[in-house]
Amino acid sequence: MSKPVLVIGGGIAGIQASLDLADQGIKVYLVEKLPSIGGKMARLDKTFPTLDCASCILTPKMVSVARHPNIELLTYSEVVEVKGSAGDFNVKVLKKPRYVDEDKCIGCGECITKCPSKVPDEFNMGMSQRKAIYFLFPQAVPLKATIDREHCFYFTKNICRVCEKFCPTKAINFEQKPETLELNVASIIIATGYELMDPRIAPTYGYGKYSNVYASLEFERLVSSTGPTGGEIMRRSDNKHPRSIAFIQCVCSRDVKINPNCSAFCCMASVKHAILAKEHLPEVDCTIFYMDLRAFGKGYQEFYNRAMKEFGIKFIRAKPAKIEEDSETKDLIITYEDTFTGVKKTMKTEMVVLAVGIKPVYPEALPLTIGEDGYIRLKNPSIDPVATTIDGVYVVGVAEGAKDIPDSVIQAGSAAIKASILAGGVIYERST
């Protein structure tokens, strides 16, 4: 008999670790704080260096998690307490109320169409609106509606309840309460991922001040067919297609005053963004400002070469000093010093995309050791690259250190093997 394993975080790393464990006959509790699994990868349009559709890779894995008999999916939930030791952890999980009965909800969306309350959509980085009752995104797993208590008219003004009236299965339940679940698990895998730094910390780039300055994840949503503009790259200021775009690297990263760490995937992500911009708008002029272009992964150097030779993307080795706005056209003027020549220059562009640094997220319920770099410290990074300083607790993905999707998936598989030893699993035969 095997004991269960707890996986905290439902991004690609947590999903992969859960599936690898479940296929060994081990029960998995997958806890995700948002209403759906998918993590940051769910917001991506394509992945580098192959430019494969991100959803085409991720969605089947999400569905496999939902259908796997050995995985219990606990979305909209958070780990609030962990006690015990390796092989015998006692965990308390707070399951937040959706105010929707998950067993009754069929994901029809009728409640959403009738809801009168509109709020900024965080999945689209606030560039579109959603309703107070919503799906996190169209391919959400589970596809169950969630009521945003802070913006629901019933909770804020004691009026409305339109969703309750039109729900065909009577799934709306305004009386739903938080629920605390107590789990006993053999091991814990942390896959809590990261958050973007706030680019307003670097005010010289004008994010939040100039309408046509975007964060990298905002641009990712712009080029996505499921994004706020349906895949149309349009400027905030006038809804026109930009004729030139500048991509600036290392914003809020590799800076001793803000964040000294490299975020690992930003260079290739910006190359991808420039290529996607050229695919959407063949005539657009794309320039990438970089300090050092880090193309360290498999196929990444070829990807960089392809960007230059096939798509004509320009690369300038410089850290821009400031960005100013032309008040009439809303175009942006970048001041920089070319590090090869030492000459101060300016360049005018119609849109700027900032490759913003990242910071790790980790569960506060665990007494983890955090390194000087802000990431979860490993017991021995040289020979055991997933084990934390707590026996039986493993960490995967960006919570351990900045990395791309393939490295996160590899690390997830490694942690699953380690956790399965404590859990005592057997090979699971998936039925066809």
pLDDT in tens, 371-420: 999 999 999 998 999 999 999 999 999 999 999 999 999 999 999 999 99
Integer-rounded Cα radius of gyration of the chain: 23
Which phi and psi angles does 303 have, rounded to 5°? -65, -45
Can you give the pTM of this predicted structure? Answer: 0.94
- The parts of the chain modelled with pLDDT lower than 70 are 1, 425-432
CA atoms of 291 and 293, how far apart (whole Å): 7
Provide the 3-class DSSP secondary structure of residue 22.
helix
Give the 3-state DSSP-derived string for 116-176, with helices as H, strands as E and coil as C.
Answer: CCEEECHHHCCCCEEECEECCCCCCCCCCCEECCCCCHHHHHCCCCHHHHHCCCCCECCCC
Beta bridge partners of 75: 32
Residue labelled with tokens 């959603």: 130
Which pLDDT does position 425 carry in this prediction?
55
Asked if 49 and 303 count as a contact pair (C-beta separation under 8 A), the reply is yes
Nearest to 76 by CA among 36, 124, 39, 130: 36
Q: Are 268 and 295 in contact (CB under 8 A)?
A: yes
For residue range 214-225, list pLDDT tens digits in order. Answer: 999 999 999 999
CA distance 307 to 309: 6
Residue 418 neighbours by CB distance under 10 Å: 17
Mention every residue, 6+ apart, whose C-beta is less than 8 A from residue 58.
12, 15, 38, 41, 42
The closest of 378, 380, 381, 353 to 368, measured between CA atoms, is 378
Is residue 351 within 8 A of residue 245, CB to CB? The reply is yes
| Rounded Cα gap, residues 411 and 213, in angstroms | 34
Q: Which two tokens stand for residue 380?
A: 């021995």
pLDDT of residue 340: 82
**CA-based max dimension of the chain:** 71
Distance, CA of 141 to CA of 36 (rounded, Å): 5
What is d(CA 324, CA 29) in angstroms, rounded to the nearest whole number? 50
Supply angle C-alpha 272, 141, 228, rounded to 5.
Answer: 45
What percent helix, strand, coil does the chain show, rounded to 5? 25, 30, 45
Residue whose structure tokens are 């798509």: 311
- What's the CA angle centered on 54, arms 52 and 58, to 5 degrees? 125
pLDDT at 427: 47
